[in-house]
Amino acid sequence: MSDVGLLHLLQLQSKQRNMCNLTLCVLLFLTCSCSPLSSCPAQCLCETTVVNCVSQNLTSIPQPLPENITALNINGNDIRNLNNESFPRPLEHLTNLYVSGSQQLDSMVFKNLPSLRLLDLSNNRISQFSVEALPQDNKIEVLNLSKSLYNHSYIGVFANLFKHRLPKVSHLDLSNNDLVLLPEGIFAGLSDLTVLDLRNNSLVTIRNDTLCNRALKELDLRDNALKVLPNVTLEKLGSISDLRVRLAGNPWRCDCNIEDMLIWLAKHEFVVDSFNLTCSGPARLKNVPLLTLIQSQLSCWSNAGDAMDRVLEPSYVFLGMVLALIGVIFLLVLYLNRKGIKGWMYNIRDACRDHMEGYHYRYEINSDPRLANLSLNSDV
């Protein structure tokens, strides 16, 4: 055995003194020619301390990782489960970790990574996660949870995490998660939050207590299901200095309820894409830019477009009923008054008959040739 080999063996022994006995170490040494702990795992590319193992069909985190590793990218593999064996040794220098495609995150999974600054868990389907997965005083600044929640109700678990375990987060990506409602005070613990990405969810409203983060600078709410933002929420957002909000791609409902919001859009500049906001309803205002609307277009009554039919349907029924009632009353009046009407009819009939009889008489006289002759002769 060479001196160098022996040195490595001694290194191994000292590092793993508690974990393996001498025979195991010798076995390891013989099978893998005992690569030093700081060398690169077989399936990965290492550039100094940056380790890249993208799309290698890995089913678990390659071991051992170089001791002084600072960044690890294991995106695009088939790691189904990150657990306490994924990072068995402390990696004091690891700051950036990219893990896409792992579907389960057990508790204590990141406890050996005390220096993490960036954690990318995007494109997972996380359904098992506990607050203990992160060390108590972690330094995570960028947390990417884009398209990573198993379903929208799982946000509750992360809300708990945000409240208690992420004191340093400044950049939070929650895009593409089908979120409908944000739990009350979900971001309240994130005092350093500056960039919040909620794009392409299904948010229907933003509560007035959801965004009270004084450090917030960028808020992306594009492509959600917002129909209107209430006064109190706008007031909250407007009171955060230097905030830039994006709101395009939401189905704004342009009726009387949106008036306050239009006033805000016109008066304040924190909505940077305000020119890109368009109405999605009522039908007659579809795709009209919000900033071109005038107040008289924003009615909740006669102009309510597709709601019109729904309003008119019962009114047609009502009109029919009124007309039927009038008809019935008319007939009733006729019936009650039948004697008077009968007498009146007789009078008219008699009058007509007298009149007609007079005509008839005269006609008979005029048309009788004998009488005509008589009258002619009498002239002679």
**68 is a contact residue toward ligand NAG (CB under 6 A):** yes
> In this complex, which beta carbon is closest to ligand NAG, that of residue 103 or of residue 276?
276
Q: Which of 95, 102, 138, 146 binds ligand NAG (CB under 6 A)?
A: 146
**73 is a contact residue toward ligand NAG (CB under 6 A):** no
**Residue 78, Cα to own-chain centre: how many angstroms?**
29
**244 is a contact residue toward ligand NAG (CB under 6 A):** no
**141 is a contact residue toward ligand NAG (CB under 6 A):** no
Can you give the three-state secondary structure of the chain, one letter per residue? CCHHHHHHHHHHHHHCCCCCCHHHHHHHHHHCCCCCCCCCCCCCEEECCEEECCCCCCCCCCCCCCCCCCEEECCCCCCCEECCCCCCCCCCCCCEEECCCCCEECCCCCCCCCCCCEEECCCCCECCCCHHHCCCCCCCCEEECCCCECCHHHHHHHHHHHHHCCCCCCEEECCCCCCCCCCCCCCCCCCCCCEEECCCCCCCCCCCCCCCCCCCCEEECCCCCCCCCCHHHHHHHHCCCCCEEECCCCCEECCHHHHHHHHHHHHCCCECCHHHCEEEECHHHCCCEHHHCCHHHCCCCCCCCCHHHHHHHHHHHHHHHHHHHHHHHHHHHHHHCHHHHHHHHHHHHHHHHHHHHHHHHHHHHHHCHHHHHHHHHHHC
**192 is a contact residue toward ligand NAG (CB under 6 A):** no
Cα(85)–Cα(89) distance, integer angstroms = 9
Name the residue type at position 167. Answer: P
Question: Near ligand NAG by CB under 6 A, which window of 173-181, 286-294, 303-311, 343-351?
Answer: 173-181
**272 is a contact residue toward ligand NAG (CB under 6 A):** yes
Handedness of CA 248, 305, 268, 189 (dihedral sign): negative
**276 is a contact residue toward ligand NAG (CB under 6 A):** yes
**34 is a contact residue toward ligand NAG (CB under 6 A):** no
**317 is a contact residue toward ligand NAG (CB under 6 A):** no
**232 is a contact residue toward ligand NAG (CB under 6 A):** yes
**337 is a contact residue toward ligand NAG (CB under 6 A):** no
> In this complex, which beta carbon is closest to ligand NAG, that of residue 138 or of residue 177?
177
Question: Near ligand NAG by CB under 6 A, which window of 8-16, 270-278, 291-299, 358-366?
Answer: 270-278
**18 is a contact residue toward ligand NAG (CB under 6 A):** no
**21 is a contact residue toward ligand NAG (CB under 6 A):** no
**150 is a contact residue toward ligand NAG (CB under 6 A):** yes
Cα(72)–Cα(65) distance, integer angstroms = 9
Q: Which of 56, 81, 103, 280 binds ligand NAG (CB under 6 A)?
A: 56
Q: How far is the CB of 267 from ligand NAG (least distance, A)?
A: 8
**151 is a contact residue toward ligand NAG (CB under 6 A):** yes
x/- letters, 97..136, toward ligand NAG (CB under 6 A)? -----------------------x-xx---x---------
Q: Which of 96, 47, 101 lies closest to 73, judged by CA?
A: 96
Q: Which of 249, 298, 257, 258 lies closest to 277, judged by CA?
A: 249
Q: Which of 178, 253, 280, 305 binds ligand NAG (CB under 6 A)?
A: 178
> In this complex, which beta carbon is closest to ligand NAG, that of residue 122 or of residue 213?
122
Q: How far is the CB of 174 from ligand NAG (least distance, A)?
A: 10
Count of Cβ atoms closer than 10 Å to residue 57 Cβ: 8
Q: Which of 60, 81, 103, 208 binds ligand NAG (CB under 6 A)?
A: 208
Q: How far is the CB of 48 from ligand NAG (least distance, A)?
A: 7
Q: Which of 14, 31, 33, 57 binds ligand NAG (CB under 6 A)?
A: 57
**231 is a contact residue toward ligand NAG (CB under 6 A):** yes
What is the binding site for ligand NAG (CB under 6 A)? 38, 49, 56-57, 66, 68, 84, 120, 122-123, 127, 142, 144, 146-147, 150-151, 153-154, 171, 173, 176, 178, 200, 208-209, 231-232, 260, 272-273, 276
